[in-house]
Each structure stands twice: as structure tokens, then as C-alpha cells.
């Protein structure tokens, strides 16, 4: 299997929590418009085809969902099987300047657009759940409904969503007189996807070595199209 280390975090445009709270944007309306615009702009594109393939894999491999790590690896393996340069991306960061140490896993897909140029796509199979908080306000609950449950997209779209959700989470918790947990702070959330990372194509974790990689070849299901995904329960 392949493993790549990426020690330097991507430039994420961090903002302080105080800057986030001072925003006067209607977050829900802004996010809804942004997501719809992103879907429209992706029509007929590489992103559209990748999204179709991811959703197809999710339905086909749904019986693996009881174990998120196995499920993630099976979807990654399927993407590689059909020709995508997909891998499990593991971010990990230490404590510094008020940032709590943490780690996270998702799938990324790298598209070669020229001999020297590449575009990276992020695939998170349980995206919306990462932004759940205690005792959310009705406004925050409405905002969560607009988030895609499965995220497939570029860093620009992902950063926008993380910024809006971090802002809104702090507002929601503050209105309920609750403190902001370290794992819901903006920098922590950004590091989940943009921190230093290692990329691996190993399909099976060491403690799950009894699972047969051939399993994904024995599953048949109907195809899920892009429009079904946008209008259905996956988004």
C-alpha cells in the first residue's frame, strides 16, 4: 500500500473566535445559497462524477456502516477500483496556543490536471455529524439541516462550511450559557481536514485483518444519480 506524509498543514485562513462571533451574516441563508451554487457549478464536472461514484459506493457498501473505519476504507477501495486516486487521509496535530491535540480520518481524491498540477477533493462520509453540539438553538438546528451529510468537494467549499458552522456553534452555545468545548473551536475543526496529514491506501486496518478485501466485489445494487442525492436523504 501507499503512504505519503504531509507534515505542513494547508493554509486554512484561521480566524479567532471573537472574529467569528462578530459576523452579521445570516448564516443559514448564506450557507444554503452557497451549497446550492456549488452543486449547480459542478454539473457535468469531475466533481459531479466523483459525487455520483461516492454515493453509489455508499449504497452498495452500506452493510459496513456499523464500523465507520471499515466503511471508510471500503469506500476508498471502491473508488480506487473504478480508477480514482483515492486514499485514507489521517490528520494529526499536537497542542499549541490553546489548540487541543487531536486526529481525524477522511477520504481524499487527487485529480491530476496537468503533468505538474493536481486538484485535491475531500470526501467525508459522515460530515454533518461532526458539527453536532449540545442543546442547539433552533437557528443552529436549521443550519445543520442544510449541511450535506456526505461532503464531496474542494478545500474552498469545505473551509466556507467550517467557518460558518464554527461561528454559529459558538453563538448557539453562548445563547444557552454553555462554554465552547475545545473540540468545537474553529482551529480544532479546521485541523480535522487541513492539519498535517498522512495519506494511505491500506484497505484494511491491522485489527480488522480478517475482513476479506474481496467483499466489495460481491455486492450488487442500483445506481444512485447526482440529482437523487441532492434531492434525497443523503444531502
CB 103 within 8 A of CB 216: no
Predicted TM-score of the model (pTM): 0.76
In a domain, 234, yes or no: no
In a domain, 200, yes or no: yes
Q: Exposed, middle or buried, 34 (CB in 10 Å: 0-12/13-18/19+)? A: middle
Instruction: Provide the domain limits for residue 80.
Output: 3-220
One pLDDT digit (tens) per residue for the chain, 235 residues: 556 777 655 544 444 444 444 443 466 666 666 666 665 555 558 999 999 999 999 999 999 999 999 999 999 999 999 999 999 999 999 998 889 999 999 999 999 988 889 999 999 999 999 999 999 999 899 889 888 999 999 999 999 999 989 989 999 999 999 999 999 999 999 999 999 999 999 877 655 544 444 444 444 333 333 333 334 444 3
The rounded distance, in Å, linking the Cα atoms of 154 and 122 is 6
Give the pLDDT of residue 215.
47
In a domain, 211, yes or no: yes
Say whether 219 sits in a helix, a strand or coil: coil
In a domain, 74, yes or no: yes
Give the pLDDT of residue 67.
95
CB 186 within 8 A of CB 23: no
Give the pLDDT of residue 45.
87
In a domain, 225, yes or no: no
Say how many CA atoms lie within 13 Å of 112 toward its Cβ.
6
Segment (H or E) for 105:
strand 102-112
DSSP letters, 17-48, are: HHHHHT--S-HHHHHHHHHHHHHHHTTTSHHH
In a domain, 226, yes or no: no
Q: Give the contacts of 202 (CB within 8 A, at least 6 positions apart).
A: 1, 3, 73, 88
In a domain, 8, yes or no: yes
User: What's the total number of domains in the chain?
Assistant: 1
In a domain, 232, yes or no: no
Give the pLDDT of residue 116.
87
Amino acid at each position: 500500500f501507499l503512504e505519503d506524509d504531509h507534515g505542513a498543514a494547508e493554509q486554512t485562513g484561521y480566524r479567532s473566535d471573537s472574529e467569528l462571533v462578530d459576523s452579521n451574516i445570516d448564516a443559514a441563508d448564506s450557507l444554503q445559497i452557497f451549497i446550492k451554487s456549488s452543486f449547480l457549478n459542478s454539473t457535468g464536472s469531475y466533481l459531479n462524477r466523483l459525487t455520483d461514484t461516492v454515493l453509489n459506493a455508499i449504497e452498495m457498501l452500506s452493510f459496513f456502516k456499523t464500523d465507520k473505519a471499515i466503511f471508510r476504507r471500503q469506500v476508498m477501495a471502491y473508488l480506487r477500483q473504478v480508477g480514482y486516486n483515492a486514499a485514507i487521509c489521517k490528520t494529526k496535530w499536537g497542542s499549541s496556543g490553546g489548540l487541543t491535540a487531536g486526529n481525524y480520518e477522511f477520504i481524499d481524491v487527487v485529480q491530476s490536471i496537468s503533468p505538474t498540477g493536481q486538484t485535491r477533493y475531500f470526501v467525508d462520509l459522515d460530515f454533518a455529524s461532526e458539527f453536532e453540539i449540545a442543546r442547539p438553538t433552533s437557528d443552529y438546528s436549521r443550519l445543520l439541516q442544510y449541511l450535506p451529510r456526505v461532503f464531496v468537494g474542494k478545500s474552498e467549499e469545505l473551509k466556507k462550511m467550517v467557518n460558518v458552522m464554527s461561528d454559529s456553534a459558538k453563538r448557539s452555545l453562548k445563547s444557552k450559557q454553555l462554554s465552547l468545548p475545545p473540540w468545537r473551536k474553529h482551529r480544532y475543526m479546521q485541523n480535522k481536514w487541513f492539519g498535517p496529514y498522512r495519506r494511505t491506501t491500506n484497505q484494511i486496518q491491522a485489527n480488522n485483518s480478517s475482513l476479506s478485501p474481496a467483499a466489495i466485489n460481491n455486492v450488487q445494487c442500483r445506481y444512485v444519480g447526482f440529482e437523487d442525492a441532492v434531492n434525497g436523504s443523503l444531502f
